[in-house]
Structure 1
Amino acid sequence: MNLRRYLPILDWGRTYDRGAFSNDMVAAVIVTIMLIPQSLAYALLAGLPPEAGIYASIAPIILYAIFGTSRALAVGPVAVVSLLTASAIGQVAEQGTAGYAVAALTLAFLSGGFLMLLGVLRLGFLANFLSHPVIAGFITASGILIAASQFKHILGISAQGHTLPEILMQLWENLGQTNWITVVLGVLATGFLFWVRKGLKPLMRRLGATPTVADFATKAGPVAAVVVTTLSVWLFGLDERGVKIVGSVPQSLPPLTMPGLSPDLIQALLIPAILISVIGFVESVSVAQTLAAKKRQRIDPDQELIGLGAANIGAAFTGGYPVTGGFSRSVVNYDAGAATPAAGAYTAVGLAIAAMALTPLVYFLPNATLAATIIVAVLSLVDFSILKKTWDYSASDFVAVTVTILLTLLMGVEIGVASGVVISVLLHLYKTSRPHVAEVGLVPGTQHFRNIHRHDVETDPKVVTLRVDESLYFINARFLEELVQSRVTEGCEIEHVILMFSAVNEVDFSALESLEAINLRLSDMGVGLHLSEVKGPVLDRLRQSHLLDVLNGQVFLSQYDAWRSVTDTSGQTAPTS
């Protein structure tokens, strides 16, 4: 067995040098500063104690560094997966109970196991069944749901709900409980974080700061919000005036934990775990491939499944919850100069130090600040332009995006993501069930054939050439049967039908039977059936059947040969347009 295939660390580790170490350490410092408030915030979103976010960012990062193939991907809690986690375990346990935490561990374990299984079986291609428009629609709707769910912390009220109508109704019903001091803190923190993203870097550049310093200050913006609001609560005793705070956070390294393995719990969480795995993998691989392409590197999607699976299993046994590769943290990691996955391991060390030494400092951190961090992060995920783009380009994709967004908002993230998977598959099946088949004719003075409805070409009234532009299999075989039948109608003078197979890569057994049926019907009508430009592998399969033995015509190497053969028999050609 090739260990380097399953342990990429053996590959990049052989060439690790002082320069790579320096770059990785700088990236780790920057990412660690960003992840401390972000990890706390995402744990809050998942309905877990704040320390769970830090725990989920230590062992998983180290395990991904060992098994993952991306040099820049930063693994840990992310907004969408945190929301999916809250939705899934909220169905089986009450938030704040020991059962809720155990369910989170179990969800991470099941998700990790499923990802590992896909990776070992090299089934990463299954993620391709989720179309990009559907993913974009789901992430947009999730961003809206996440932002809406955090307004309760900005207002300082209690509210529950997994769908947008439920959340809005709860907010409205409890609006009278609003704590205005919390509102001020939350609004100021949100406004400051938005400004940091857009305005701090240009301001510092105008003041003469170097690009490196300006970038560092921008990345550290959330930390500034945490420090200022925490000091405000502590100095003015705002917690005694109704401002909800993080409170006591254990000062320790991630504990050794055990996921629950009861059959009932596994049955309840298995489907959500699969959905979380698929969504997390698609998001992670998209980010990893984008960043790898910038440095002309490559990633192995199947090994990524193993890396992410190991990371999730690690989270299950160290007090975390499901994780994946995050877009924002990975981009920061890349921009900060991360040279190898070791940058993630150094980040884990930084977070471990924070877990042991800095957690007492966040006792007075207001929940409103964490909510502001989440809102600012997830609103960048909301992209309504996908609706216009798909409307302009493809009606079916527009319907898929719209349905996914509406179902996610109105019925919850689990139904939303499940509907996205189903819609993606149905769209694929619908499109391939009606393959593009063009009737073609000869371009004058050439040996090329083009669509008779798009070009001025030569045709023969006794010859029909149909170019099949897709592989033939069970779901579209009948379509070709009916198309040929409708073209060769009673009373017409057609003597030859040529099926041009230049774009056909496969013919399955159902399609073979359809071809045999077409041949039989045309034979009964006295019409010859010919095949042209059949690819070698397809022709090999057809030779294993009886089709070529009973074919009422010939198989030609090129379409031009077929045309010349049948038109020499049928008579002169006539131009058409």
Structure 2
Amino acid sequence: MANIDDDIYREKLPDVSTVLLGGARKLCRPATITDKFPILSWLPRYKLEFLLRDFIAGFTVGLTTIPQAIAYGVVAGLEPQYGLYSAFMGCFTYIIFGSCKDVTIATTAIMALMVNQYAVISPDYAVLICFLAGCIILILGLLNLGVLVRFISIPVITGFTIAAATTIGSAQINNLFGIKSPSNQFIPSWKNFLTHLGSTRLYDALLGVCTLIFLLLMKKVKDVPYGNKVFWKYLSLSRNALAVIFGTFLAYILSRDGSQPFKVTGNITAGLPPFQLPPFSTVVDGEYVSFKEMLDKIGASLASVPLVSILEIVAISKAFSKGKIVNASQEMVALGMCNVMGSFVLSMPVTGSFTRTAVNNASGVKTPLGGAVTGSLVLMALAFLTQTFYYIPKTTLAAIIIAAMISLVELDKISEMWKSKKLDLLPFTITGLTCLFWSLEYGILCGVITNISYILYRSAKPHIIITCEKINEHEVCIVDVKQRLDFASAEYLKAKVVKFINNQIGDKQVRLVIIKGQEINSIDYTVANNIISLKEDLQVLKCELFCWNWNIASAGVVCRLKPELKNIFKYNLTIEQIVIDFYEQCTSNGSNFTINSFT
């Protein structure tokens, strides 16, 4: 009978000096530098024919970015130029650190909504959150912790996205009809709208509804089956810019007699933002607020804002990677740097924008250099077009935001979850409802906790099949473990086997338990202790335990803990042969069953 090799007693660990030397060599490799600064990889290979494609894509994205940045600045409770500040710095910084050519970094509706409750107190809060979130994301990226994103499932992301889009769209329903709203939350927004219908401004409502219909129809123009498809595609992509141009022109023409039928954006500070340190203190209503007091106020958002930012950019990068492997940690480094650098120019938190990334991809961008064109366009708008921005109707911006949010409400994913695995609707529902009726921060947290609970439950109760089979005229208990064992599941395996054997006593004479180990690729100290304890419990029940075809490393954990158990591990034998050898040995030791005499 083959015994386990003595090598299982020796766990081969690398020498400390080898580890340190290997780490130093890795840091000094040119590949490590180019990994952290991807521009060093793609810029030397840049081709002249890429320039036109990048310019067209960057210009098209810029036409989408400018109106959305202004709109999201308003959503955040800030002056519109803050959204533009965020856009231009995000575009330029991502060129250096970003690894995905399609991704466009700027403020988003979700980020705007998450900082709104702090920005209305003072813009300094939004800038400080941008800096702190950037530092956290950057550190996580440098520590290669992008793997943590894998613990957040698609149902949680879907629930969060749909709830956030619903909340943001609901918050703009009042602006669409020219009604003043005191809140950006889901229920208060609709309550205010329904109770103030009499305050609807006719011209705002007409322009807003018509603009929304125009945007939704223009989104379908790209699918026109006849004519020049490229023309229809770019006409569809420019829908936001066309809406802003028309609304601004109309507001300007109708205001020449001194009256203004629409609520307009108002003055936007012209010129580039000052380059200065982020605000580590502020003054609110004439009272000094220290850095610690600001942190206390921000609270849970220090965790939720980085988390949501990371989720968005990693999800977007994966969606547009085109078969390439996305380095989540490097995307976190890029996003962290965008936020850190942005905080020096009065930026609010930024992340990847799905809408603008889709526009970038559809426009045929070839390298991240397209972001330089977008950033330059935003800078030109800040320098020369701020007087024009004065006449942008708020109802037009509201329509742009609502149209963007409608595209994020992917109801088809709910039906897909229902068809594939109904249990996934639980984290989706918990996340969505919590985001809608409590807050986005706690909603994503509840979703993550639900995901982790799933993982812990499966870890504590692995899939174990126990059957009683008749082999060579003897009843044998076969235990088939369908996943790896760890400390959480150790007691569960022992309890299930002992319970099964106890239930068999008096019915079938089970004297042998065999645990299959093909799928047990690793165990820990707790599992090893429970295997030893299980053998002792089975001895009391006059049963023998064998472990068949276990991984050598897993068997070694048990044998190093208790060397005399080496013989319970069986290799190069069939189960039938193990049963035959066991009962032959028992017979040779006498008619009475003796466990110790066999092992």
Q: TM-score, normalised by structure 1?
A: 0.88
1:73 CA displacement: 0.9
Deviation of 1:272 (Å): 0.9
Structure 1 counterpart SS, 2:320: helix
Q: Does 1:174 align with 2:196?
A: yes
| Equivalent-residue separation in structure 1 for 2:364 and 2:94 (angstroms) | 18
Shift of residue 458, structure 1, vs aligned partner: 7.2
- Counterpart-to-counterpart distance in 2, 1:112 and 1:459: 67
1:424 to 429, 445, 451: 451
Deviations 1:116-143 (A, max 9, x none): 1101111111111211111111111111
Q: Is the 8 A contact 2:70 2:83 kept in 1?
A: yes
User: Counterpart of 1:55 in structure 2: which amino acid?
Assistant: Y
Give matches, 1:86-165, under 5 Å.
Answer: 86=116, 90=117, 92=118, 95=120, 99-161=121-183, 163-165=185-187
Contact residue 78 and residue 323 of structure 1 kept, 8 A: yes
User: Which of 31, 38, 49 is equivalent to 2:79?
Assistant: 49
**Partner in structure 1 of residue 13 of structure 2:** none
Counterpart check, 1:517 vs 2:533: yes
How far residue 500 of structure 1 moved from its aligned partner, in angstroms, is: 1.4
For residues 42 and 163 of structure 1, the distance between their equivalents in structure 2, rounded to whole angstroms, comes to 15
Supply the distance in 1 between the matched residues of 2:571 and 2:97 (Cα, whole angstroms). Answer: 48
Q: Name the CA distance, whole Å, in 2 between partners of 1:436 and 1:567.
A: 28
Q: Which amino acid aligns with 2:302?
A: A
Partner of 1:216: 234
2:471/2:579 contact within 8 Å kept: no
Superposed, 1:178-327 pairs within 5 Å as 178-198=200-220, 200-203=221-224, 206=226, 208=227, 210-237=228-255, 240-241=259-260, 243-261=262-280, 262-269=291-298, 271-292=300-321, 294=322, 296-327=323-354
Identify the residue that residue 21 of structure 2 maps to in structure 1.
Answer: none
1:453-509: CA deviation from partner (whole Å, max 9, x where unpaired): xxxx97975211212122212222222122111211133411111111222232122
1:466-485 paired onto structure 2 within 5 Å? 466-485=479-498
- For residues 173 and 460 of structure 1, the distance between their equivalents in structure 2, rounded to whole angstroms, comes to 81
Pairing 1:84–2:100 present: no
Q: Output the CA distance in 2 between the equivalents of 1:458 and 1:228.
A: 83
1:537 to 553, 560, 572: 553
Q: How many residues align?
A: 540
Q: CA deviation at 1:45?
A: 1.6
Amino acid at match of 2:245: V
Measured at CA, do residues 566 and 374 of structure 1 come closer, stay the same or move farther in structure 2, by a change above 3 Å? same
Equivalent residue number for residue 556 of structure 1: 570
Counterpart in the other structure of 1:8: 38
Q: Determine which of 56, 59, 69 is the counterpart of 2:89.
A: 59
Amino acid at match of 2:570: F
Q: Aligned equivalents of 2:554 and 2:394: distance in 1?
A: 63
Alpha-carbon deviations, 1:525-545, whole Å to 9, x = none? 221111123224323433432
Distance 1:388 1:458 in 2: 47
Q: Decide whether the 8 Å contact of 1:103 with 1:259 is kept in 2.
A: no
Q: Which SS does the other structure have where 2:509 is aligned?
A: coil
**Native 8 Å contact 1:154 1:182 kept in 2:** yes
SS in 2 for 1:499: strand
1:385 deviates by 3.3
Pairwise CA distance, 1:329: 1.0
| Structure 1: segments with no counterpart, 5+ residues | 442-451, 572-577
Q: Which residue of 2 aligns with 1:366?
A: 393
Kept in 2: contact 1:75–1:324 (CA 8 A): yes
Change (3 A) 1:279 1:440: farther
SS at match of 2:518: coil
Query: In structure 2, what is the Cα distance between the partners aligned to 1:479 and 1:385?
Result: 39
Quote the Cα distance in structure 2 between the aligned partners of 1:56 and 1:394.
Answer: 40
Please tell me whether the aligned partners of residues 525 and 557 of structure 2 are also in contact (alpha carbons under 8 angstroms): no
Tell me what 1:508 maps to.
524
Distance 1:509 1:217, change over 3 A: same
1:574 corresponding residue in structure 2? none
What is the identity, as a one-letter code, of the residue corresponding to 2:196?
Answer: N
Partner of 2:371: 344
- Listed one character per residue, the Cα deviations across residues 305-353 of structure 1 (whole Å, up to 9, x for unaligned) are 1101001112211111111111111121112111111111222112111
Amino acid paired to 2:492: F
TM-superposed CA distance for 1:369, in Å, is: 0.6
Tell me: CA distance 1:372–1:563, structure 2 relative to 1, closer, same or farther (3 Å).
farther
Does the Cα contact within 8 Å between 1:110 and 1:270 map onto a contact in 2?
no
1:122 maps to amino acid: N
SS state of the match for residue 561, structure 2? coil
Give the Å deviation of 1:103.
0.4
What secondary structure does 1:544 align onto?
Answer: helix
1:343–1:515 Cα change, 3 Å: same
SS in 1 for 2:547: strand
Provide the C-alpha distance between the structure 1 equivalents of 2:309 and 2:184, rounded to a whole number of angstroms: 20
Give me the whole-angstrom Cα distance separating, in 2, the residues matched to 1:496 and 1:469: 20
Contact 1:108-1:273 at 8 Å conserved across structures: no
TM-score by length of 2: 0.85
What is the match of residue 447 of structure 1? none
Q: Separation in 2 of the partners of 1:43 and 1:567? A: 78
Q: For residue 211 of structure 1, what is the amino acid of its counterpart?
A: K
Hey, what's the Cα distance between the residues in 2 that align with 1:161 and 1:416? 19
TM superposition outliers: structure 1 runs of 4+ over 6 Å: 457-460
Contact 1:460–1:567 (Cα < 8 Å) also in 2: no
CA contact (8 A) 2:86 2:347 kept: yes
Q: Secondary structure at the match of 1:408?
A: helix
Q: Which runs of 5+ in 2 are unaligned?
A: 1-27, 281-290, 585-599
After TM superposition, the structure 1 stretch with the greater mean CA deviation from structure 2, 45-54 or 560-569, is 560-569
CA contact (8 A) 1:54 1:351 kept: yes
Task: Give the number of the structure whose alpha-carbon radius of gyration is greater.
Answer: 2
- Over 3 Å counting, the alpha-carbon distance change for 1:25 and 1:543 in structure 2 is farther
Give the structure 2 partner of residue 575 of structure 1.
none
Cα distance in 2 for residues equivalent to 1:268 and 1:403? 26
State the Cα RMSD in Å.
2.2
The aligned counterpart of 2:362 is 335
For 1:297 and 1:392, how far apart are their aligned partners in 2? 29
* Alpha-carbon distance, 1:158 to partner: 1.7
